[in-house]
Amino acid sequence: MTGKFISIEGPDGAGKTSVLKAILAELRPLLGERLLVTREPGGTGSVVAEAIRDLVLDPNLPTMDAWTEALLYAASRRQHIVETIEPALADDKVVLSDRYVDSSIAYQGGGRELGVEQIAKLNTFATHGLAPQATIYLDLDPKIGLERIQTQRSDEVNRLDVEALAFHQRVTQAYHELIERNPERFWVIDANQPLDQVIEQTSASMHQILHDELG
Ligand code: TYD
């Protein structure tokens, strides 16, 4: 497999959307057609994965069982890999995914308390072990994250956003365990800082990760 696979992760409210927007404005002119931007749940160019996204994030489905949810995220990811990620990597592209397996480990494994090992296993099965070479993590105090979601957000609030602080604390803790276990893969950015600094540091990390591709 050629190409480069990078994911971006973080708890809700970390400013991932704004940071990504700024980073993409910088990377697009440099990488052109070589850059493929995608997201999870769902995925660029995958009708099936996007249909599962609509289902799994639907706030009108409060009876959804936590394992059903975990399986749907994994199913969406499987389709995303087959239709989007693998073909792009085979074509030597730089694939930048807004969330990937770490989100399931943090939210379903930690947040929903299904167990990080179990969710990791489920995802190894779904992905056949396909993992990003680098992951940018926007690190944020979960209290601040929740405050930001509740006060600043004008767009639709999804099912997970309305969870209690304890849920968000478990999510962050699971992310931190992942970082401890995979220090060579994670690039941690302090997202408690003002947005322009978060963007600047993410950009600097991205340039190091893409040293060969941009050089
Ligand atoms: P989205 O509206 O895309 O939010 P964000 O900008 O925070 O990525 O919704 C994604 C939500 O789905 C987010 O709250 C995290 C959650 N999620 C999981 O719980 N498990 C997963 O495997 C993935 C990919 C996302």
At residue 210's C-alpha, the angle toward residues 116 and 83, to 5°, is 60
Contact 13, 149 (CB under 8 A): yes
Contact 210, 159 (CB under 8 A): no
Strands across the sheet with 134-139, in order?
Answer: 35-39, 94-98, 4-9, 134-139, 186-190
Domain boundaries, the chain: 4-210
Could you give the percent of the chain with pLDDT greater than 90? 87
- Provide the mean pLDDT of the chain: 94
Predicted model pTM: 0.94
Between the CA of 9 and the centroid of ligand 1 the distance, in Å, is 9
27 is written with which tokens? 């990377």
List pLDDT tens digits, range 108-142: 999 999 999 999 999 999 999 999 999 999 999 98
80 lines ligand 1 (CB under 6 A): no
9 three-state secondary structure: strand
List pLDDT tens digits, range 163-206: 688 999 999 999 999 999 999 999 999 999 999 999 999 999 99
| pLDDT score for 149 | 78
Residue having the nearest C-alpha atom to atom 20 of ligand 1: 104
List pLDDT tens digits, range 8-24: 999 988 999 999 999 99
Which atom number of ligand 1 is nearest to the Cα of residue 17?
6
18 lines ligand 1 (CB under 6 A): no
Residue having the nearest C-alpha atom to atom 14 of ligand 1: 160
167 lines ligand 1 (CB under 6 A): no
Lowest mean pLDDT among 56-70, 119-133, 140-154: 140-154
| pLDDT score for 156 | 56
The alpha carbons of the chain give a radius of gyration, in whole angstroms, of 16
Residue having the nearest C-alpha atom to atom 4 of ligand 1: 12
Between the CA of 159 and the centroid of ligand 1 the distance, in Å, is 10
1 three-state secondary structure: coil
9 lines ligand 1 (CB under 6 A): no
Between the CA of 30 and the centroid of ligand 1 the distance, in Å, is 28
The residue to mutate among 76, 99, 159, having the most atoms of ligand 1 within 8 angstroms of its beta carbon, is: 99
Within 8 A by CB and 6+ apart from 12, the residues are: 145, 146, 149, 160, 161, 168
**Homologous superfamily in CATH for domain 4-210:** P-loop containing nucleotide triphosphate hydrolases (3.40.50.300)
197 lines ligand 1 (CB under 6 A): no
Within 8 A by CB and 6+ apart from 135, the residues are: 6, 7, 8, 9, 100, 102, 182, 185, 186, 187
- The answer to whether the Cα torsion of 16, 36, 47, 105 is positive or negative is negative
Contact 57, 161 (CB under 8 A): no
12 lines ligand 1 (CB under 6 A): yes
